[in-house]
Amino acid sequence: MPPDSTATKARLLDAAFAEFAQYGLAGARVDRIAEAAQANKRLIYVYYGSKEQLFDAVLAQRLGALFDAVPFAAEDLPGFVDSLFDHAVASPQLLRLARWRQLERVESSAVETQWRREMVEAIAQGQKRGVITTDIEPADLLTLLLEMTTSWFNLPSAMSEVAVAEERSPQRLQRCRAALTAAVCRLFAPSPHAQLQGVGAETAIPD
């Protein structure tokens, strides 16, 4: 590889992220990516093999950064969705890329699969500790969390209310975030029955 391969690959990934987020996998053009990255088009195939593999590399890079920036803790689901919501506001291109992935790359990436497995396991452990409701299966609970958080962005009309001018205003975003937090607190709080079971387990006198 050429001496500046690291810098060139970084430019290619950045340019590809913008291209894929705008046009998707099918609509993206390697010529435009190479031009935006100020790199030879041939290097895309040298480094990544194909346009599809470049898409996967971009997705893995951006999702990895997201997962690092938004840590998951079963004890603080409201904090998790708040951080994820803020990240979605700050990074709308990532949401667009994720939508394209769902449409054009049916199978989840290794990064996504690992992230989901870790969160599902964390939720299951949280249920055992009595900090999350046991009324919903861990995988279903995670799906609800993620879909609730991104619902305002996936349905543009949900963000606009009555006044179009208010769409995505700081005040509107703050109300959406507050509604999300309130819903998570109410829906996923431990059930009274689970809490009683936890108290009983802690205070039981051994034989």
Q: Could you tell me the residue ranges of all domains in the chain?
A: 1-69, 70-190
Q: Which tens digit of pLDDT belongs to each residue from 14-37?
A: 999 999 999 999 999 999 999 999
| pLDDT surpassing 70 at residue 3 | no
Q: How confident is the model at residue 155 (pLDDT cuts 50, 70, 90)?
A: confident
**Out of 10-14, 31-35, 108-112, 200-204, least confident range:** 200-204
Class of domain 70-190: mainly alpha
As a whole-number percent, the residues of the chain with pLDDT over 70 amount to 84
CA separation for the pair 84, 82 (Å, rounded): 5
d(CA 140, CA 100): 23
Read off the pLDDT of each residue in 91-102 and give the average, rounded to a whole number: 93
Question: In terms of pTM, does the model score above 0.85?
Answer: no
Same fold, 1-69 and 70-190: yes
What topology does CATH give the domain 1-69? Tetracycline Repressor; domain 2 (1.10.357)
